[in-house]
Every structure is written in C-alpha cells, then in structure tokens.
C-alpha cells in the first residue's frame, strides 16, 4: 500500500538510495538515488513481549513485521528518502532483535527519520494541524477508523487473518547526519494497547461464558506517531463493544471454564482517553453473560484509581473472578508490554 508514500510526497524535493542487507531489487516506494556523501547504518529494533510463559503464545503476532517503511525528511520537510520493505527485503535485513539497513547518498546535516511497520493494517491517514502547549500548530498523521473495522480486535480474530500484524512506529525529528557512515538506533513502538482478560471460575462446577461486553472506551482514531505519554486525539469518539451473544445460539462465545480454573481472552485496542470527567462514572467497564447469570458492566478502572486512560504499547491485565452466580470481583494492573513494572490496584467489590 503506497498511501504513506503519498502522504510525504507534498514535501518531496530530493532523494536517496537504500540497500538492505542481502536485499535484491527495488522495493515499492523507493526514492531515486542521491549523490550525498553520508550514509546511515540503521538498526530498527522490534518491541519486546514479556517473556513469562503466558505471553509466549502471543509473541509471534505481537512482534510480527510484515512491512517496514523508512522515510527521511530534511528539516524543511523535503523528502530525502521513502522506501517500503517487505517479503524477501525484510528477510535479508533481519538481525537478532530487529532489522539492519544501509541508507546511502545522504547529504550531511540535520534530518528527520520516520519508521512505520505494518502499514497494511492501518486505516487511511490524513495530515492534521494540532496545537502545542503554546498554541502553535504542527502537523501530525491522524489515522481514522470510524467503523472500528481494524481495532478493537481479538487475538483469535487476528491469527485467523493472513498477514495480520500490529501497527508500529518510531521517529527521530532531530537526527544529525555527519559525513561518512552514521550508526543510528531506533526502536519501534506498538501503536495499540492490549487488554488481557483472565476469567477465573471460583465455582466448583463449570461455567460457560457466551457473551463479553465492554463500556464506551473504544476509540475510533489515533496518531501514528506518538508525542508525549498518552497523545490521544482530542476529537476521538468512543463506543462500547460486545463479543458473542447469549440470546443468539450461533453467536455464543462458548468459552467453557472448569470449576476452579481460568481462561484468557486478549483484545487489542487503540489508545484511549475516554474518562476525562471523574465526576462521571468510569466508561472502562467489562461484563459477562453465562446461560445462568448476567454479570453486568463493572469498572476495572475507577473507584478512586490513579488512572483514567490506556496508553499505547501497554497491556492492561484484568482478572475477573466469577465466584457466585451473579457476583463479579475485578482486579487490574497496567504494565509496559515488555517490562514487569506492575501497578497493582486493589479489587473492586
């Protein structure tokens, strides 16, 4: 998909060449060769997934790179280089913890570096003006998904789609390029967040979860490149989402949880800042239905919690204890996708 190349084309003026390690032929969206005397030895690090056993099943999807676009702009936003790598290009550039590329023919001086992974799993982006703290507008790439067709999405749904991968990005807007070869490190960041819901059955008999519902905290847009800790569009719209249906037999989730056992469901969502007024009830809620009981929506972020949002590249672990036919106890913690740094919040009763 070449829409990201087109987004940068209005700034285009110059061009460069790039050679991926063991790369053969040109990839889609290659800029013409440049004549400058500088080059980049670029290492793109792929974000890590927590190494505990429960996460290993998800790592293949969460770290997958299907396409990788590298864009270089001058300080005046002139396009210096724009190339999409995929397939054999990426295979040849793979190293232990990411990818290595050589970008040649660069002019020495300042530059802006942008890296986008898995652009085929993005909605259509647009350039928008966003004011900073001093009211000065600067341009950002906004990705809209009004029908929420791409996210939220369950892990099981994504693994059933060939080529499905999580969008990621990275940038360095203040890159100094000296003469000769310049070693540059940049780390991709996932543009989505992860909800990991552990459903615990404290009954002695099995239960079957046929429906799971979430409150109105699913965003319909996000900025491709993150500025600041949260950086959620102020005009994002939020809605709830339900999976499965107790009433419709054909749509039931049919998640059977044995007595004293647990099952896990993973959901990927856009960054969310849906609870701006703490005088109102938290929208960060979850509920369940079984053939015998309704567990109504209940807040997993709320009740005096120190958080009111969900940032990208974090995972929220929700432990839902179903311990009587209609009683639900929730506990949650927010953590970096890769580091253990847990924040534990007492259960909501």
Domain ranges in the chain are: 3-122+167-190, 193-348
Structure tokens at 212: 């799971």
**Measured distance CA(303)–CA(116) in Å, rounded:** 38
> What is the percent of the chain with per-residue pLDDT over 70, rounded to a whole number?
79
Give me the pLDDT at residue 343, please: 31
Residue 99: the pLDDT is 93
CA–CA distance, 62 with 164 (Å, rounded to integer): 10
Strands 294-299 and 207-209: unpaired
| Alpha carbons 347 and 247: distance in angstroms, whole number | 30
The residue with greater pLDDT, 47 or 6, is 47
Q: Tell which CATH classification among 2.60.40.2630, 1.10.10.410, 3.30.1360.120, 3.10.25.10 matches the domain 193-348.
A: 2.60.40.2630
Domains 3-122+167-190 and 193-348 share a fold: yes
pLDDT of residue 36: 75
pLDDT digits (tens, 9 = 90+) for 188-225: 999 999 999 999 998 889 999 999 999 999 999 999 99
Q: What is the pLDDT of residues 87-103, one digit of tens each?
A: 889 999 998 889 999 99
Protein fold of 3-122+167-190 = Immunoglobulin-like (2.60.40)
CA distance 219 to 274: 8
Q: Looking at residue 27, what is its pLDDT?
A: 42
State the residue for tokens 């009587």. Answer: 324
Find the mean pLDDT for residues 48-58. 60
* Res 341 pLDDT > 60: no
């Amino acid at each position: 998909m070449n829409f990201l190349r087109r987004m940068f084309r209005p700034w285009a003026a110059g061009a460069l060449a790039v050679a991926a390690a063991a790369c053969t032929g040109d990839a889609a969206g290659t800029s013409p060769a440049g004549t400058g005397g500088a080059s980049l030895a670029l290492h793109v690090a792929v974000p890590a997934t927590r190494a505990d056993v429960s996460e290993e099943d998800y790592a293949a999807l969460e770290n997958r790179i299907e396409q990788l676009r590298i864009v270089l702009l001058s300080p005046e936003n002139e396009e210096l280089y724009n190339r999409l790598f995929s397939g054999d290009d990426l295979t040849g550039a793979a190293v232990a913890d990411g990818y290595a590329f050589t970008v040649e023919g660069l002019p020495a001086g300042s530059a802006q570096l942008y890296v986008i992974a898995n652009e085929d799993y993005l909605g259509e982006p647009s350039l928008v003006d966003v004011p900073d703290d001093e009211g000065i507008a600067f341009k950002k790439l906004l990705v809209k998904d009004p029908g929420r067709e791409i996210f939220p999405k369950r892990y099981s749904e994504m693994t059933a789609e060939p080529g499905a991968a999580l969008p990621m990005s990275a940038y360095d807007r203040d890159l100094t390029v000296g003469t000769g070869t310049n070693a540059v490190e940049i780390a991709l960041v996932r543009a989505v967040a992860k909800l990991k819901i552990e459903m615990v059955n404290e009954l002695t008999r099995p239960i079957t979860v046929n429906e799971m519902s979430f409150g109105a905290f699913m965003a319909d847009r996000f900025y491709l490149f993150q500025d600041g800790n949260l950086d959620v569009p102020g005009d994002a719209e939020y809605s709830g989402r339900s999976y499965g249906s107790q009433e419709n037999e054909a749509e039931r989730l049919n998640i059977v949880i044995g007595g004293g056992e647990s099952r896990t469901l993973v959901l990927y969502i856009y960054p969310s800042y849906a609870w701006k007024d703490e005088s109102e009830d938290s929208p960060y809620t979850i509920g369940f239905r079984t053939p015998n009981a309704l567990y109504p929506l209940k807040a997993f972020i709320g009740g005096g919690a120190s958080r009111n949002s969900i940032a990208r590249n974090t995972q929220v672990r929700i432990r839902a204890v179903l311990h009587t036919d209609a009683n639900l106890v929730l506990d949650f913690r927010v953590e970096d996708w890769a580091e253990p740094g847990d924040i534990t919040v007492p259960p909501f009763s």
